[in-house]
Amino acid sequence: MPDLLTSFLLLLVLLALLVVAGHVIFTYRQMRRVEEIVPPRGAFTAISTGRLHYLDCGTGPAIVLIHGLGGNLANFDCGLIDDLARDFRVIAIDRPGSGYSDRPAIAPANVRAQARQIAEAIEKLEIENPLVVGHSLGGAVALALALDKPDLLRGLALLAPLALPLKDDGPALFADYRINADIYRRLISWTVAVPHMIRHPEPVTQEVFGPDEIPPEFAVRGGGLLTLRPQAFYNASRDFVASGDDLAGMARDYAKLAVPVRVLFGRDDRILDPELHGDVLVRRYPQIGLTTVEGGHMLPVTQVDDSATFIRRAAEAMKDRKFISRASPEVYR
């Protein structure tokens, strides 16, 4: 009987290993396929976290674009970059760990650390006095950059930004990202994460984009397929877990912002509450300007014209700004 039980347990272990191996092989093949379909479209430079992927096009006053959680620079390439590049130098950046940018596991993922990494890129690429545009988590990174390195930029134009500490544990949609143990995070990334996202696209279609439709070009031109890679899930999980580390302290300092800030929110955003991150933010810090439009969370993809108009107006209002201790209210708004 003991021999039979031992054999049975060994069989179960073997089956489990086969299942894990099958998921790893599937995930690896999916990663390679996605990278063939959506290769890097920009250039690379080196910063402290390794290679940084960026797209630099157009001439004129500089605009830096920072994408959100689980995204990549291509999220701005469904028309927004083309629009802005007619009159501006536009630099879209894959945040470290996202898209095709490196980030080692030992590198910090909190918002202020990411802002320092973006500051490195701005200095390395010799980007002079840019208007910084941040979407979602990229908005939090942009705010940290404005607080910690205000002399590097002339202002912020934020699209559906994460600006204040999240209620509870954040959107239920991101529960799968809430993994604290790194070894477990890596195991999930290389086994069940990608197959699960392929089988269950509803969270993206209904929450991330809803109520807007996903544009057909988003998968390739907009970089949507790049989320179906293990490193994308792994680093999005790291970003999500670390996202709350700095927000409370940052929010206490928003009154000290020395650069003008404008915010654009979709009134039907299902990811970040427009009331909290828009209306409440402006009531607490009335020097920040707020504009609302119809639409959900993915404004750079679904509301390209509104986003471009908003950014252009911010750029015009802030065009002559040099570093000052505090911008006037009319410049903020």
CA atoms within 13 A on the CB side of 116: 9
What are the pLDDT digits (tens) for 226-282? 999 999 999 999 999 999 899 999 999 999 999 999 999 999 999 999 999 999 999
Q: How confident is the model at residue 4 (pLDDT cuts 50, 70, 90)?
A: confident
| Averaged pLDDT score across all residues of the chain | 92
DSSP 109: -
What are the pLDDT digits (tens) for 166-203? 887 677 778 889 999 999 999 999 999 999 999 988 87
**pLDDT (0 to 100) of residue 333:** 41
Q: How far apart are CA 168 and CA 170, in angstroms?
A: 6
Give the helix ranges, DSSP H, for the chain: 2-37, 80-84, 111-124, 137-148, 182-190, 193-199, 202, 230-242, 247-253, 274, 281-284, 299-302, 304-317, 329-332
Q: How far apart are CA 130 and CA 119, in angstroms?
A: 11
Ordered by where they begin, the domains of the chain are 41-332 (3.40.50.1820)
Task: Give the rounded percent of residues in the chain with a pLDDT score beyond 90.
Answer: 81
Higher-scoring residue by pLDDT: 171, 293: 293
pLDDT at 321 over 80: no
234 phi, psi to nearest 5 deg: -60, -50
**pLDDT (0 to 100) of residue 20:** 75
Higher-scoring residue by pLDDT: 89, 331: 89
**pLDDT (0 to 100) of residue 2:** 63
Section 60-82 average pLDDT: 98
**pLDDT (0 to 100) of residue 120:** 98
Q: How confident is the model at residue 24 (pLDDT cuts 50, 70, 90)?
A: confident
Q: How far apart are CA 269 and CA 160, in angstroms?
A: 8
**pLDDT (0 to 100) of residue 8:** 65
**pLDDT (0 to 100) of residue 173:** 77
